[in-house]
Amino acid sequence: MSDRILIFDTTLRDGEQCPGAAMTQRQKLEVARQLARLGVDIIEAGFPIASQGDFESVREIAKTVRGPVICGLARCVPADIDVAGAAIKPAGKQGRIHVFLGTSKIHREFKLGKAREEILRLAAEGVRRARKFTAHVEFSPEDASRTEIDFLIEVVEAALEAGATTINLPDTTGYATPEEYGRMFREVIARARGSGNAVFSTHCHNDLGLAVANSLAGILAGARQVECTLNGIGERAGNAALEEVVMALRTRHDSLGELTTGIQTREIVRTSRLVSAACSFPVPRNKAIVGLNAFAHSSGIHQDGILKKRETYEIMDPEEVGWGKTELPLTKHSGRAAVASRLKHLGYSLKPAELQAVFSRFKEIGDRKKFVYDDDLVSLVGAQIQVARETYSLEKLSVSCGIGEKPEAKITLRHGRKSLSAAGTGDGAVDAVLKTIDRITGLKGHLVDYQVRAVTEGKDAVGEVSLNVRFETKAEPCGGRAAATDVIESSARAYLAAVNRWFAEGGRTPRGKSRRTLAHP
């Protein structure tokens, strides 16, 4: 058995299905390019049948990103598979179709309404149809961890006989424990005819906080592919975090064996930041590997130990995962070329118009604070590439508030060639600003999530706001993210980013209703 573990990144598919995490095509392409630099083996670029936007994103990634295998997801439904085949076609021999079908008793009876025999037939037909488009076909028996073991083996055998080259056994609901998940792999690999001709894969959700532990258990039981996401984003509580799986394998050879991956670990932090900026999901400070506190030591005892020998309290070298040494920050006197060079170092490839927009915002920030750090730039560029075009842009903003006074906001927005102004009040300064924007745009957004954080240290730190807004009762939230030295301005810009995304998506649910009803591993 190979000691090489394949890293299958599903940030752009399962990760993006997390409510509020939808990315634009441009953002997906930026993330895919960085995933290639990170060294992932397979990029699951999306669910092509879900929407025209998903199809175009997968096709564009297949056309332009080189290195990793580019994969599209499909149900065992002819239309799904045909669309996925068309989407990955530009990738040539580096294309893969990932077909799936519910197999557990609860899925058979309540979701699909199909008997075992029908499931076996559909699985085989799905794999055979996918093989017409590519030699690389992955099959997932959805909810494998709750499927009767004997039937699971039958389904796997049917998929293998039909030509599947990868078998993924997903813990779709995050229900399994490591012991159970490992035992499932051992039994299927040992008993299924033809198992030696395929790569077995893990796909774990984090509902019980066991996604990474289960993934490692699957590896120890014979899996040689791990499906995961950056920062652990994904449906419900998320997926197994790529950075945690990779660094566990790298750090614990004594326990896990001499297993390797192709990941360029010094790209991990950079990739984490890019994904966070693209989907407007801040990384928790205490997040393993990539959180700001991951290598921070405040206890005097810990600090003393670190100074004497780093390994007393650090099991990994922070430079190995890309924290590295602090780079010299930019100032308001830095030119466009310096900013462009720094952005390229951070993993961004901007068009001239986008660079100009970021540079203008950089100058505004630079006039208000002494230094502009990498994290400041990431926040600025993350807001800039959220949508393809701006329906509304912020021209003027003033807020008056005080103890015993009703907060009032006065705002001017640019809409095409027109400047639209309005004033409004609210329960607080931010509330007044958002309600005034609603008055100008004619929308009525319901704020479902609002977070603010200081991007860097100091009293002049850039304040970054991440929020999610629902503009219709049944619509998925639209995410927005922006940064400024004033959190009221950040809030206005972040809200406008969500407004612009709403209009860019045609004023409807970004994924479309069907996106939420499509099952997945």
Q: Are 375 and 456 in contact (CB under 8 A)?
A: yes
* pTM for the model: 0.81
Residue 326's pLDDT is 45
Q: For residue range 127-172, list pLDDT tens digits in order.
A: 999 999 999 999 999 999 999 999 999 999 999 999 999 999 999 9
**Cα distance between residue 63 and residue 213, in whole Å:** 35
Structural domains of the chain ordered from first start: 6-279 (3.20.20.70), 297-325 (no CATH), 336-384 (no CATH), 393-504 (3.30.160.270)
User: Mean pLDDT over residues 193-208, rounded?
Assistant: 98
Question: In whole numbers, what is the pLDDT of the chain averaged over residues?
Answer: 90
DSSP for residue 379: H
User: Mean pLDDT over residues 4-30, rounded?
Assistant: 90
More confident residue, 520 or 69: 69
**Cα distance between residue 380 and residue 372, in whole Å:** 11
**Cα distance between residue 380 and residue 482, in whole Å:** 7
Confidence band for 2, pLDDT divided at 50, 70 and 90? confident
Q: For residue range 226-271, list pLDDT tens digits in order.
A: 999 999 999 999 999 999 999 999 999 999 999 999 999 999 999 9
pLDDT above 90 covers a percentage of the chain that reads 64
Q: What are the start-end ranges of the E strands in 351-444?
A: 393-402, 405-415, 418-425
User: Mean pLDDT over residues 392-407, rounded?
Assistant: 93
103-117, 340-354, 443-457: range with highest mean pLDDT: 103-117
Please check the confidence at residue 509 and state whether its pLDDT lies above 60. no
Q: Are 28 and 45 in contact (CB under 8 A)?
A: yes
Residue 188's pLDDT is 98
Q: For residue range 425-464, list pLDDT tens digits in order.
A: 999 999 999 999 999 999 999 999 998 988 776 767 788 8
**Cα distance between residue 492 and residue 273, in whole Å:** 22
Cα angle, residue 69 at apex, residues 268 and 152 outer, rounded to 5°:
100
Q: Which amino acid is at 104?
A: S
Please check the confidence at residue 515 and state whether its pLDDT lies above 60. no
User: Mean pLDDT over residues 401-415, rounded?
Assistant: 93
Q: For residue range 466-489, list pLDDT tens digits in order.
A: 898 999 877 888 888 888 888 999
Q: For residue range 23-67, list pLDDT tens digits in order.
A: 888 899 999 999 999 999 999 999 999 999 999 999 999 999 999
End-to-end CA gap in the chain = 26
User: Mean pLDDT over residues 261-290, rounded?
Assistant: 92
Please check the confidence at residue 78 and state whether its pLDDT lies above 70. yes
If you count DSSP H runs as helices and E runs as strands, how many of each does the chain have, helices first?
A: 18, 14
pLDDT above 70 covers a percentage of the chain that reads 92
| 3-class DSSP assignment, residue 349 | coil
